[in-house]
Chains A and B, each alone.
Chain A
Amino acid sequence: DTGVSQNPRHKITKRGQNVTFRCDPISEHNRLYWYRQTLGQGPEFLTYFQNEAQLEKSRLLSDRFSAERPKGSFSTLEIQRTEQGDSAMYLCASSSTPAGGQLFFGPGTRLTVL
């Protein structure tokens, strides 16, 4: 399968714990995005990488959130000291530079913070 993959698909954690999600983009795509989606809302932009450089980070992301994309391949999104308000679907997407807004989304990781 050459699509975007995300792991884990589901994560249940207790408040205060740290969690890490992984995204593997389509191999030839140099752009990678993280979005968050809560019930009744569209996906909200969190952060964007071009190759290994994180070029934009939304104000939605508090200091508890950090994302990396070492070597411009897979990416990880870590949430420290999780809060109940962090419960959401976390979506990863990738694209190639000329494609502008043509994003290929992964299946998402659903986080539940108890």
Chain B
Amino acid sequence: AQRVTQPEKLLSVFKGAPVELKCNYSYSGSPELFWYVQYSRQRLQLLLRHISRESIKGFTADLNKGETSFHLKKPFAQEEDSAMYYCAPLSGGSNYKLTFGKGTLLTVNP
């Protein structure tokens, strides 16, 4: 069965510390993967997609096909990074349906 797992519901770090939000997937083929973020009182929005290989707000995510992982990383966390983060693959064979993980709530303490 196709599944996306974010093993940590909560993650708390101090400002300036590195942060890694984990995402593992079990999908056939080569799914396209995304990270979405929801800041407090704001709507859900796209943070980054793996095919663009870009860094957004200092975050990067590397697709590891061997480990079927797509972890989100930032070397120095900021307080404004505190938010809910969702990993979302495009469902196998679909070019339109995102399946969201349960999310990780990141808190960056001063």
- A40 near B102 (CB under 8 angstroms)? yes
- B102 near A45 (CB under 8 angstroms)? no
How many residue pairs, one in A and one in B, have C-beta atoms under 8 Å apart?
A: 54
Residues of B within 8 A of A91 (CB): 44
- Judge whether A62 is part of the interface by a CB distance below 8 angstroms: no
Q: Is the interface of B mostly helix, strand, loop or mixed?
A: loop
- B102 near A101 (CB under 8 angstroms)? no
Binds A, one of B11-19, B62-70, B73-81, B89-97: B89-97
- Judge whether A106 is part of the interface by a CB distance below 8 angstroms: yes
- B88 near A101 (CB under 8 angstroms)? yes
Known: A48-B96, A48-B97. A43 touches B86 (CB 8 A): yes
Report the Cα distance A55→B94, complex, angstroms.
12
Q: Chain A: interface residue count, which band?
A: 20 to 34
In-complex Cβ contact of A44 among B32, B96, B100 (8 A) = B100
- B97 near A43 (CB under 8 angstroms)? no
Report the Cα distance A3→B96, complex, angstroms.
19
- B46 near A100 (CB under 8 angstroms)? no
Residues of B within 8 A of A95 (CB): 96
In-complex Cβ contact of B102 among A35, A42, A48 (8 A) = A42
Which residue numbers of B lie inside 8 Å of A, CB to CB? 9, 32, 34, 43-46, 49, 86, 88, 90, 95-103
